[in-house]
Amino acid sequence: MEVLEAIRGRASVRAFLDQPVTRETIRGVLDAAKWSPSGGNTQPWQVAVVTGETKREIGDRMVAAYRAGEEGDADYQYYAKRFPEPYRGRRYTCGMALYSALGIERSDKPGRRAQWEKNYHGFDAPVELFIFVDDALEMGSWVDTGMFIQNVMLAARAFGLETCPQAALAEYPGIVREVLDLPDSMKLVCGIAMGYPEPEAAVNGYRTEREDVDGFTRWYGDD
């Protein structure tokens, strides 16, 4: 797949085919993504590939925690506590587009809760990648890991796969670390649902808009 096509066509997919992804394919995705840049070539990212019963256990335990009213205890603050404009408006529009594609009304709270719970099972994707950074590292390493995550999502497309990066899968990091037997020093950045997309699913058909280049760019110096 041509690079610009991969970038422009990438979207967060929330419906996947019931089709397994081979370990060889996953390894191929990660082998391409590993060429991400990092300060001093520290390569701070750590990846846990989760499938099958292990994936199901993590999802079931997250859903149970959510239903029990347990507050998420993410390793870092992902969302702003208050969104000024234009960020608030963009976020609202994004949410409305998603639920509209799903046919869930704003007033349908049970429907919204049910849809939210699907986050914790990675929308039934066959693979989840949990991305970690060592607690000994600083913010720059998290930035580097963000570039690695983007590489993962773009490389996946070359193998016919699609992805959904999920902050929701990092809401209960203690559950993830306990199931995977990882130390508390491994801080959970996010999860990535990955699999073959369901082409007929309406939720995969909507697209969010992007600001025009001149809306986020200032030019300095000579033309």
Domain spans, the chain: 3-80+120-203
d(CA 220, CA 180): 49
- For 102-134, the pLDDT digits (tens) are 888 888 999 999 999 999 999 999 999 999 999
DSSP state letter for 70 = P
- For 152-204, the pLDDT digits (tens) are 999 999 999 999 999 999 999 999 999 999 999 999 999 999 999 999 998 99
d(CA 15, CA 162): 10
CB atoms within 10 A of CB 223: 3
pTM for the whole structure: 0.95
d(CA 119, CA 191): 10
d(CA 196, CA 20): 8
Question: Is residue 164 a contact partner of residue 125, using CB atoms and an 8 Å limit?
Answer: yes
| Residue 64 binned pLDDT confidence (cut-offs 50, 70, 90) | very high
DSSP state letter for 11 = -
CATH classification number, 3-80+120-203, choose in 3.40.50.1000, 3.30.499.10, 3.30.930.10, 3.40.109.10:
3.40.109.10
Give pLDDT, residue 222.
85
Give pLDDT, residue 1.
81
Quick one: what percent of the chain has pLDDT higher than 70? 100
Residue in 33, 46, 30 with CA at minimum distance from that of residue 141: 46
Q: Rounded mean pLDDT of 36-42? A: 98
d(CA 152, CA 34): 8
